[in-house]
Amino acid sequence: MDTVLIIDFGSQYTKLIARAVRELGVYAEIVPPEISPEEIQRRAPKGVILSGGPASVYAPDAPRIDKRIYELKIPILGICYGMQLIAHDLGGQVLRSDKREYGPSTLQIVQTDTLFDGLNSCEEVWMSHGDEIKTLPKDFVCLARTANVAHAAMRSRDGLFYGIQFHPEVAHTPKGKEILKNFLFKVCHIQRLWHPKDHVQEIIEKLKEELSGARHVLIGVSGGVDSSTAAVLVHRAIGERLIPIFIDTGLLRLGEAERTRAIFEKLGLRLRVVDASARFFAQLRGVTDPEEKRKRIGAEFIKVFEEEAQKLAREVGGIDVLVQGTIYSDVIESAGARGADRIKSHHNVGGLPERVQFRIIEPLRNFFKDEVRQIGLSLGIPEEIIWEQPFPGPGLAVRILGEVTPERVKVLQRVDAIVREEIHKAGLARAIWQYFAVLLPVRSVGVLGDGRAYGHVVAVRAVESRDGMTADWFPIPYGVLEKISSRITNEIEGVTRVVYDITSKPPATIEWE
């Protein structure tokens, strides 16, 4: 498989480079600057990309690479800090600046080049840098400039090394994808494209091998796409030796446990559903502080999981491995690709690995969400799981403000089901990143029958987002809102008012907590 390695110097955009390259059909992996030339040679990438980063090449602790990497005859594209490092390492001069240029800029191409095939002589680009290159290394030519930067792009005369001062990986550089494409296919001459679903058989074979000595293997399933795909993959590899368990916290959406059980059954997996709702409600009694709720739910979840694992181990005669649905963005978000490899603590079964004695296997840790979806689809997992909106680990507890009681959960479950049903009916489910209802800790007056009553207030929340980091409120058409509101107040006794959340993130968050 033709691969590209991305050396991460700490830019907030490194993940976007990896995703952009993968979206172009090329397998890319993020590696730390400490990677040795020998390791690079062993992996035999067709190209190397040096990411941006916040440092100055002159800072004493600035990340560097082993200079022997330049002797490997592998094409290198340096972006921002990556470009400055190439210039610095190969004898150019980098000008120190205390000012940061940040924002849109116009790139003027001064020398036509393969890297810029398909671009006009002037293009909008996104800049974010402090230092800049004053003199190019010997044997380099300048390809482009901007009003403020004399050397906005450079190439070595042998065509092996490129540097660009702007960020092709962000949406604000409209032709950025074109530039990356030129680098991958015209400079690195990558030919073999990578489609995650073509690797499903390979993943299954590898799992067979890795799990050949294991007696039984456990996986905690949430009903989301990551854990479901991981479960089905492992099941294809080892069959009934995989034991998928589903913990019903009582804080799930209406009918969730049953729905997940039925889907797994169709896929040939027998899901063990553990109803632990009473334990979670006992933990949440009288608790109104949102962080305290999260802590208690997380701790109880680990306890229940551990107890179930021990019970199962006795029942089946030994469990050796725990499978987790960790995906690539979890890995790089929590470890920054710098080797620490922690698992995001709020992720559903997070915190478990340190506590249990199992070997951990993460079959999806090299895949982005879109890729996991492709793999899931090719395994026959139904679309309703593949395209399911994100749902927080602590469940409806983060959508019930104030105390979480079984009664209040019941109200919210039914309200939320109406919101989801109407969004589906309106054909909006795929267009909206998340859509749900929130139960507020206030009562408001309403008319019930002939009298006045103080009823629940619920909020409807719908947002568009790409990754959950930022979000815009979604304009649900008035007709749909009207239907949602009248159904809720007619069908759910005790709810007298429905409001619509029109805040984006930031300043608000997606969940209300």
Distances (CA, A) of 482 to 436, 440, 476: 15, 20, 10
Between 146 and 260, CB nearer to ligand XMP: 260
- Residue 208 tokens read as 């067979």
Spell out a b/e string for 220-254, using b for 16 or more CB atoms within 10 Å of the CB, else e: bbbbbbbbbbbbbbbbbbbeebbbbbbbbbbbbbb
Let me know if 513 is a catalytic residue.
no
Closest contact distance (angstroms) between CB of 175 and ligand XMP is: 31
Q: One of 88, 129, 151, 169 is an active-site residue; which one? A: 169
CB nearer to ligand XMP: pick between 320 and 333: 333
> Does 505 contact ligand XMP by CB under 6 A?
yes
As measured in angstroms, the least distance from the Cβ of 395 to ligand XMP is 9
From the list 80, 132, 216, 308, the catalytic residue is 80
Stretch of 122-130, 162-170, 264-272, 345-353 lying at the interface with ligand XMP (CB under 6 A): 345-353
Binding mask 266-305 toward ligand XMP (x if CB under 6 A, else -) reads ----------------------------------------
Q: Does 75 bind ligand XMP (CB under 6 A)?
A: no
Residue closer to ligand XMP by CB (options 29, 333) is 333
Concerning whether 210 is annotated as a catalytic residue, the answer is no
For ligand XMP, which residue of 91, 380, 468, 477 counts as binding (CB under 6 A)? Answer: 468
Q: Per-residue DSSP letters for 32-85?
A: -TT--HHHHHHH--SEEEE---S--TTSTT-----GGGGGS---EEEETHHHHH
Cα separation, 511 vs 293, whole angstroms:
14
Instruction: Give yes or no for residue 390 binding ligand XMP (CB under 6 A).
Output: yes
Asked if 393 interacts with ligand XMP (CB under 6 A), we say: yes
CB closer to ligand XMP out of 312 and 396? 396
Q: Interface with ligand XMP includes 347 (CB under 6 A)?
A: yes
Q: Confirm or reject binding of residue 346 to ligand XMP (CB under 6 A).
A: yes
Phi and psi at residue 269, to the nearest 5° = -110, 135
Would you put residue 113 in left (φ > 0), alpha (ψ -120 to 50) or beta? beta
Question: Catalytic: 167?
Answer: yes
Beta bridge partners of 123: 107
What token pair was written down for 194? 């990578």
Contact of 287 with 403, CB cutoff 8 Å: yes
Give φ, ψ of 301 to 5 degrees. -60, -45
* R_g of the chain computed on alpha carbons: 26
220 binds ligand XMP (CB under 6 A): no
- Each residue 417-436 as x (binds ligand XMP by CB under 6 A) or -, in order, gives -----------------x--
Stretch that binds ligand XMP, among 80-88, 253-261, 391-399, 445-453 (CB under 6 A): 391-399
Q: Are 150 and 97 contacting, i.e. CB atoms less than 8 angstroms apart?
A: no
Q: Considering CB under 6 A, how many residues would be counted as binding ligand XMP?
A: 14
392 touches ligand XMP by CB under 6 A = yes
Q: Looking at this protein, which amino acid is placed at residue 167?
A: H
Q: Could you tell me if 212 and 320 are in contact, meaning their C-beta atoms sit under 8 angstroms apart?
A: no
Residue 95 CA: distances (Å) to CA of 103, 113, 129, 166: 20, 25, 12, 16
Q: Quick check: 250 binds ligand XMP (CB under 6 A)?
A: no
Annotated catalytic residue within 88, 151, 167, 347: 167
- Contact residues: ligand XMP, CB under 6 A: 346-348, 390, 392-394, 398, 434, 468, 505, 509-511
Residues carrying an active site annotation: 80, 167, 169
